[in-house]
Structure 1
């Protein structure tokens, strides 16, 4: 019997072309799924006959209730080296090995700037008007040079975003709970005295924090009220860092100039979700990690994880 591997959420139908899935040998049968399974029952029905599942990011939770219903599952491969929606204790209890892959910081940093620039220069509105035969110029772009960019988080992605901001001639500051002046000096930016000061002083705010108990709901109604009415807010990190209801309120009430989002509490975003029709919002369907080079890394290392597991020496083990 072959070792059967399911690849989840292969929306672009590219998983089998961006890596050599024959590398582990003829024992592996790979089945990509291009549609998202939204319920546990759907997942159980689809995955019951698989030994291995490759899952992207943290879109599909693997709680104990699901793992207990997949007795054939032996290997779970997640993109990235951290996954908070997998119950690692339940995986061990069920004899499931969980492995990860490397992930590049470059694609989410690049998408951050795509959102920020798109917002600042009204690209969606202007492109739509031009193609529809509408008005010639209807917006006045916001400047970057000389403006203040505030970064919540200065890790790998935040540092890449900071350096681009500096190249644009922006005044860049950063804040997080454990951020030091040594780190900000290393990147060449200022250390904001507080989260509140960063929000109040910045013309652009971009979120680059890991989701944790400390960062969940970090930006609620009180914090969003500190933003300038001309400010833009971008989040390519984790949706739960910003209170969604509070963000919808400030967008509908015009209390900030706009927001750019790539991450959501529920993914894929339901068709009737209020964010789909919110004003002053530039939204993308979690494209931050979706680039050819990153997918080649994900799927290539997923193949390596499978091969190592079959050889009895798992690599990049998580949990």
Structure 2
């Protein structure tokens, strides 16, 4: 299944994409796509619904983050050997964990706003894992049984904030709008081997990143297992799993994000995102 949340920010409705690629409304089946719906019982209820009998959504509504009420937004750093090399960092012996603020989460096509004073904005196409059932100290062999589905994350970063403003990465990762997620939450049965997914990112139509999840240092199963040894994972938590090479940070002469840039990105079977970069403006 391809599950979505659509509508204006803060007023999204649950939906699914049918076999013809059309958007169907799920509101009569579940009130939203949050922690209560992502577990086994909630997903079973959704699977019982006949897509052909669900209301067809007309037009092209905005897609929001496909998960409501995200409790934790966990990120894994330097999880592709070639990205670690371009960043001048050694290959990690264990997964590097940091957190992205849940307040940075937004829809896949919403504008990305550079924070005030930003000079080193960067992009990162990543595979996102959405937790479906509680996971604590789970072995790698059973870790993927706790996954509700997969999605796309653009782990937008401010490298000066991340690397030059103290030892913690979080301050350069959780700025408002720095967490586009979606468009879809795709269930594992539709993905097949999650370690064989092509991924790409273009900046203004120029290919910057090309990769495949098979080159991840730590697999999706290893990541879920590893993180669950340090914090209990709950339904609706998102783990974003690292990026392949091609980010601005890895360039000899970095080309940082600036107002007017357009990022487009996608992963096989998970859809595509598009974000226009805008300058900072204070929220109302």
In the superposition, the TM-score normalised over structure 2's length comes to 0.22
Relative to its length, the structure with more helix (as a share) is 1
Radius of gyration: which is bigger?
1
